[in-house]
Amino acid sequence: MPHGRNILNHLVYYCSAMPPGSSPVSLDRLFHALSDATRRRLLTQLTLGPAKVTDLARPFRMSLPAVSKHLRILEDAGLVSRAVDGRVHRMRLTGEPLHAVEIWLDPFRSYWDQTLRSLGDDLAAHPPRRRPPRH
């Protein structure tokens, strides 16, 4: 049963550490949006500044409607925003939702830092022995 208690404690921490307005559903949308390589490339392009949808679509070997579908998923996750001026749609990165991902990942970062620190301490305490050469 201790394992179940750890899961419950992690969930309590996870839910209480989320930024205002965030929920597990929005975190699911964020991870879904980030799970696709095309969407991650679109986000990377937008780190350079706002861009027209047609400019964002240019490097991809897919139709404009396919790129627009990826952008709508990013928009639904709150990662990009759209400004419409006539027929021109400009997209802008809105990185604030990534803060929820960072908060969710933080316990894992602490876990791996501690695990690697323990491994380093163990290796320092027990250095590997040199094997005698084979003849």
**34, part of any domain:** yes
**10, part of any domain:** no
Instruction: For residue 47, give its domain range.
Output: 24-106
**97, part of any domain:** yes
pLDDT in tens, 90-126: 999 998 888 888 888 888 888 888 888 888 877 888 8
CATH classification at residue 38: 1.10.10.10
**8, part of any domain:** no
**Statement: residue 12 has pLDDT above 50:** no
**Statement: residue 10 has pLDDT above 50:** no
Q: How many domains does the chain have?
A: 1
Kindly state the tokens that stand for 28: 């699911």
Angle 74-75-79 from CA coordinates, rounded to 5°: 65
Q: Is 95 helix (H, G, I), strand (E, B) or coil?
A: coil
pLDDT the model gives residue 48: 96
